[in-house]
Structure 1
Amino acid sequence: MSTHWYYILVNLACFMVPFIFSFHPKLKFYLKWKAFVIGALAMMAVFIPWDVYFTSQGIWGFNTKYTSGLFIGNLPVEEWFFFICIPYACLFTYHCIGVLVKKVPFAAVCKALAWIFAIASILIAGLNMGKWYAFTAHLFCGVFLLLHLLWLKSSYLPRFIFVFILILPPFLASNGVLTGVDFWNYPFINTNPEGIAEKIVWYNNNHNLGLRLFTMPADDLAYGLTMLLLCVTVFEWLNKKENPDVTQGLPKS
């Protein structure tokens, strides 16, 4: 198989199972597609310009060996699909937890973790002001979490944190392949990012923490959390407009 299919296959691997089960009679996630599409578009309105700019500045980039060669702007089409497939998988999982679990497990712990993530992200951003990916990813993550905790007081935030922790293994695996095709051959705590070969997406290590989980920059955790929480925020706002007395059609957690 041609290596030019690798990035699109990662996207499809994340997307296909959630898509198929979207039609399950108990889950019926297809009824939430409108909210998903609007949430994804809102997220892309923030993350695509960020992606375009950082790519233009050489903060990250894409290995043409693993992409189709088709571009929209300076981004390969696979990168655009990334911002559809990964949020879809996350929101599907989030929806499933809402349908199948009446009360979020460890809700108080999840809320405490949100505070820890927020404060830690702000501190990391402050300590890495010259490293643009580390600074922006952690700053946006910390500020957005504090917005939820202090102003929006989102009842669904513990559910989101629980789901984010739940999806960490597949998130780590998919990002691992993107940042090192054979990511499992590297140590879990990897402090030698320059030693990673065969990258679909490469990073300028002068602009991140220089710490990898296998091959994935640790900064991707903050980036991914912010990206997915933005989708969920719009998703929940639209659901609340349609069903003002409930969150996702269920009792609030």
Structure 2
Amino acid sequence: MAAASLLVGGLYIIWDVGVTRRGHWSFNPRYTGTARLLGLPRGEILFFFTVPYACLFIYEVVVAYFGDALWFHWSPWFSGLLLLASGLAAWRYRGQGYTRLVMLSLILFFLVQFLLVPDLLATRAFWVFLGLSFLAFLVFNGLYTALPTIWYNPREIWGIRAGTIPLEDFFYNFSLLGLSLVVHLTLRGGLPWLQ
């Protein structure tokens, strides 16, 4: 779990540093303090390691108690449609930096998931893990955006919000947790074609 959190968290920190510098969002020093590392508050950096790790722990608990049986048959066509939809959305919203990058992160997730853990999206454990993780996300990201700890540049997002949470944050969270899980499962069990 730690290795997956470090690998994926490191990738998302690079993303966060880049978009912060480009002005997609900024951090409110009233709540984050003024100390920065690579332009990010320390809590923001810790987020990318602690949250995926905690959510991977949730996944392992779900599997231990409920198993990871397939819920339904997953066709490669479903993956293709998700890749296509994410690609079209990335192209459609190419002028909105955060929205475009979120859609590109979905492309990355769906592609890596299809190649490494093709049946993942058909398992009960994945959806229970995601549901429990998103409950925590709603509480904590809702508080995070309500304070406001972070300011989003309105030119870089759709502007649609669930409460105070930009809609893009839901896709961002999905790709962060999904990629962390795919890397975790791959590292734990090896690559499927090598088994």
TM beyond 0.5? yes
Q: Which structure: larger Rg?
A: 1
2:130 aligns to what? 164
Deviation at 1:114, TM superposition (A): 6.5
Identity %: 29
2:153 aligns to what? 204
1:213 aligns to what? 162
Which residue, out of 121, 124, 128, partners 2:89? 124
Whether the 8 Å contact between 2:79 and 2:110 is mirrored in structure 1 is yes
Whether the 8 Å contact between 1:62 and 1:200 is mirrored in structure 2 is yes
Deviation at 1:57, TM superposition (A): 1.3
Q: Comparing 135-144 with 51-60, which one deviates more in the overlay?
A: 135-144
Counterpart check, 1:48 vs 2:19: no
1:129-186 deviation digits (Å, cap 9, x = unpaired): 111110111122034213423x3343434333442133222212211111113xxxxx
Instruction: Mark the CA change 1:105 to 1:156 in structure 2 (over 3 Å): closer, same or farther.
Output: closer
What secondary structure sits across from 1:50 in the alignment? helix
Whether the 8 Å contact between 2:112 and 2:182 is mirrored in structure 1 is no
Whether the 8 Å contact between 2:90 and 2:101 is mirrored in structure 1 is yes
Q: Which runs of 5 or more structure 2 residues have no equivalent in the other structure? A: none
Inter-partner Cα distance in structure 1 for 2:162 and 2:4: 28
Matches within 5 A, 1:179-198: 179-181=145-147
Matches within 5 A, 1:1-253: 36-104=1-69, 106-108=71-73, 118-149=83-114, 151-157=115-121, 158=123, 159-181=125-147, 199-241=148-190
Q: Which runs of 5 or more structure 1 residues have no equivalent in the other structure? A: 1-35, 182-198, 247-253
1:29 aligns to what? none
Q: Comparing 164-173 with 221-230, which one deviates more in the overlay?
A: 164-173
Whether the 8 Å contact between 2:113 and 2:179 is mirrored in structure 1 is no
One-letter identity of the residue aligned with 1:164: L
1:191-244 deviation digits (Å, cap 9, x = unpaired): xxxxxxxx1011101111111111111111221111112211221122114xx9
Whether the 8 Å contact between 1:105 and 1:162 is mirrored in structure 2 is no
The normalised TM-score by structure 2 is 0.84
Shift >6 Å, 4+ stretches: 111-116
**Number of matched residues?**
191
Root-mean-square deviation (Å): 2.8
Whether the 8 Å contact between 1:134 and 1:208 is mirrored in structure 2 is yes
Q: Comparing 154-163 with 231-240, which one deviates more in the overlay?
A: 154-163
Inter-partner Cα distance in structure 2 for 1:86 and 1:113: 28
Q: Which has the higher helix share?
A: 2
Whether the 8 Å contact between 2:117 and 2:186 is mirrored in structure 1 is no
